[in-house]
């Protein structure tokens, strides 16, 4: 049943119109009930004619909203349940059953009001995110500090955020260190440590130190603003079952009207009095109306979308909730999805001297290099608290290694071939260890001075959540886990060996990944999980494309059908659990609604069901369907 639309009133501000829209649905049934009670009292004291004006006022109070909505729908040559209810109420009035017609309009307007507030609750759950942004920010411009509205912030401004304050804008930390509560963006409960250079987001909470942040996005472009826009768009996108019900509802409403006419004719032909035949016809109009059927899907989908968004899981529409529920194959990109996406030192193998001697020699030279592997070596030294020495000489040999002088000694760091070219002797047993590292998908880095000092193994490490996430998918009944990567098969095998995936496709270009996904979709519903940038073709090809770690990433939000705002892969199994529960609730609602309608129709024909009881059964089923859908707002998935 569509929530009634209210026309804009000239001369009122947007805020006033918003308040009216919130007040009117609740005022309708209240006024209708007041006039009905007054009419009943006057009727008993002074008779029917004296109560007639009050009955008319009850009709006006309870039916105005439905009349406006029905007229708007009729202008588009369509019929909806509001027209059915109005016809039934008018029919009751023509039979002198003003009281029953008034009860019909009261309960119908009350049901509409409850739906209005129930659906509004799911939207408020999302709109509340906007309240997370502070209205003002402390900004430093030209050496002067001033408080400005967040709408007046400009890209490039330097803002100051003190402990326990919410961040007013997206930006990059320029000075200071702290922990940030990012749960409003990523859904993660654990704070994130930030230092100069770390990206931060509006609406998150600075927990400890004072921060100076350079603004990188305007108020309308912040990550939290884009989350709001995305979820609102998703809420307006119909799920397949909802589209089917809406199309069915148009035809069904016409059938109900024609059915009421036929019912009247049949009972007249059976020698029923005109009033009795007409009464059954208008009762049929009420009990056969598809209110509960129409609201069954949107009430559930809106609740699921709101629940997911609060946990950093953004569905782009109800269609993806229904598709994800049927997932049979999950395809993962490797780099940046199953792995962290940056190399790290995994093995330190000294051959002469200690581990610290090996790392000092390698790190001191590599700190002058800009290569990703060099950054991994330096990061390993810093993590161990090793003080590095500034090299006296440094030379980079592109694609092979670096050489220089550290603490008066000549040092070389690089590949096996680079060392052989440098005349460094590599024993057979060392070569075997290098091959062993390569077999594990690791890159061996050799370090030498006059002789070989040792070997460092560097690899893109698995995310801590990768293995438990795949176990959770298996537990949910996902039968096929596939790994796609542009890396060599040897590297892919090393990763797959830890995770137990079913299928590996290595050495792929982006378009080749899309071809693999396309083939898989012919056998099952395929979910593709990637970073949303270089995996765009595969994400678009899959039945459901999932971008993870998308906080602040425009490309990921635009490409995927489902966005995991944080880097936690376990969110995928939570999304699948939520979608399956939503699909079950939709099925429950549809079966229940259809059963109630069928039962009421049977009672109307066989027992001459009273209109008032038909109204209670009809509107009661609608309310129960809405409440059942709202239960998803409190759904909590189990984490593997």
Active site residues: 333
Sheet holding 144-149, edge to edge: 144-149, 136-141, 158-161, 211-215, 171-175, 199-200
Helix (H, G, I), strand (E, B) or coil at 325: helix
350: which strand partners?
A: 454
Angle, CA of 351, 356 and 362, to the nearest 5°:
75
d(CA 389, CA 285): 87
- Residue 633: phi and psi, rounded to 5, are -60, -30
Q: In Å, how far are 67, 308, 443 from 125, measured between CA atoms?
A: 30, 11, 48
**Chain mean position to CA 347:** 39
Angle, CA of 581, 585 and 590, to the nearest 5°:
150
Query: Contact 446/365 with Cβ under 8 angstroms?
Result: no
Query: Residue 536, CB half-sphere, CA atoms under 13 Å: how many?
Result: 8
d(CA 248, CA 72): 19
What element of type H or E holds 562? strand 562-564
Burial 462-490 (b: 16+ CB within 10 A, else e): bbebbbebbebbeebebebbbbbbbbeee
Report the sign of the C-alpha dihedral through residues 265, 269, 274, 280, in that order: negative
d(CA 537, CA 106): 53
d(CA 542, CA 326): 13
Q: Alpha helix (H) ranges present in 338-465?
A: 355-366, 372-383, 416-421, 428-439
Q: In Å, how far are 118, 357, 442, 556 from 493, measured between CA atoms?
A: 50, 33, 11, 27
Burial 622-638 (b: 16+ CB within 10 A, else e): bbebbebbbebbebebe
CB atoms within 10 A of CB 419: 21
């Amino acid at each position: 049943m569509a929530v009634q639309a209210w026309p804009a009133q000239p001369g009122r501000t947007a805020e006033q119109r918003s308040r009216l829209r919130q007040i009117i649905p609740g005022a309708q049934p209240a006024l209708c009930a007041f006039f009905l009670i007054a009419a009943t009292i006057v009727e008993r004291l002074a008779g029917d004619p004296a109560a007639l004006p009050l009955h008319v006022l009850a009709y006006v109070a309870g039916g105005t909203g439905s009349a406006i909505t029905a007229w708007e729908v009729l202008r588009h040559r369509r019929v909806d349940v509001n027209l059915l209810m109005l016809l039934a109420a008018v029919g009751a009035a023509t039979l002198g059953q003003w009281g029953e017609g008034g009860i019909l309009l009261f309960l119908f307007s009350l049901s509409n009001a409850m739906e209005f507030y129930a659906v509004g609750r799911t939207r408020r759950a999302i709109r509340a995110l906007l309240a997370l942004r502070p209205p003002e920010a402390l900004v430093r411009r030209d050496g002067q500090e001033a408080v400005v509205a967040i709408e007046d912030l400009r890209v490039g401004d330097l803002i100051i955020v003190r402990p326990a304050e919410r961040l007013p804008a997206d930006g990059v930390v320029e000075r200071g260190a702290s922990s940030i509560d990012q749960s409003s963006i990523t859904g993660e409960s654990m704070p994130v440590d930030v230092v100069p250079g770390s990206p931060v987001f509006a609406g998150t909470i600075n927990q400890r130190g004072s921060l100076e942040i350079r603004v990188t996005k305007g108020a309308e472009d912040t990550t939290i603003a884009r989350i709001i826009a995305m979820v609102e768009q998703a809420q307006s996108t119909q799920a397949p079952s909802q589209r089917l019900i809406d199309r069915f509802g148009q035809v069904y409403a016409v059938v109900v009207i024609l059915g009421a006419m036929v019912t009247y004719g049949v009972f007249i032909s059976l020698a029923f009095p005109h009033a009795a035949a007409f009464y059954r016809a208008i009762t049929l109009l009420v009990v056969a109306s598809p209110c509960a059927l129409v609201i069954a899907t949107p009430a559930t989908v809106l609740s699921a979308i709101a629940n997911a968004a609060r946990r950093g899981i953004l569905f782009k529409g109800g269609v993806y909730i229904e598709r994800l529920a049927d997932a049979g194959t999950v395809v993962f990109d490797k780099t940046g999805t199953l792995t962290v996406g940056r190399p790290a030192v995994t093995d330190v193998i000294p051959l002469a001297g200690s581990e610290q001697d090996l790392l000092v020699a390698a790190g001191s030279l590599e700190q002058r290099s800009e290569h990703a592997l060099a950054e991994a070596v330096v990061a390993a030294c810093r993590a161990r608290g090793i003080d590095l020495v500034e090299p006296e000489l440094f030379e980079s040999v592109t694609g092979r290694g670096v050489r220089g002088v550290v603490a008066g000694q000549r040092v070389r760091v690089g590949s096996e071939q680079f060392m052989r070219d440098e005349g460094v002797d590599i024993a057979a047993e060392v070569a075997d260890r290098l091959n062993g590292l390569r077999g594990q998908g690791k890159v061996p880095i050799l370090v030498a001075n006059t002789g070989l000092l040792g070997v460092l193994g560097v690899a893109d490490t698995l995310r801590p959540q990768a293995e438990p996430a795949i176990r959770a998918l298996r537990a949910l009944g996902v039968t096929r886990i596939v790994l796609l990567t542009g890396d060599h098969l040897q590297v892919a095998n090393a990763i797959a060996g830890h995770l137990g995936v079913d299928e590996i496709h290595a050495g792929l270009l982006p378009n080749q990944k899309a071809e693999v996904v396309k083939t898989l979709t012919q056998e099952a519903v395929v979910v593709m999980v990637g970073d949303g940038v270089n995996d765009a073709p595969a994400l678009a090809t899959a039945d459901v494309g999932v971008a993870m770690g998308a906080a602040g990433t425009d490309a990921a939000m635009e490409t995927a059908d489902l966005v995991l705002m944080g880097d936690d892969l376990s969110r995928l199994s939570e999304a699948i659990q939520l979608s399956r529960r939503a699909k079950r609730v939709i099925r429950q609602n549809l079966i229940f609604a259809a059963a109630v309608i069928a039962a009421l129709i049977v009672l109307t024909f066989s027992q001459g069901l009273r209109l008032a009881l038909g109204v209670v059964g009809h509107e009661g089923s609608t309310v129960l369907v809405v409440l059942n859908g709202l239960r998803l707002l409190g759904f909590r998935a189990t984490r593997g």
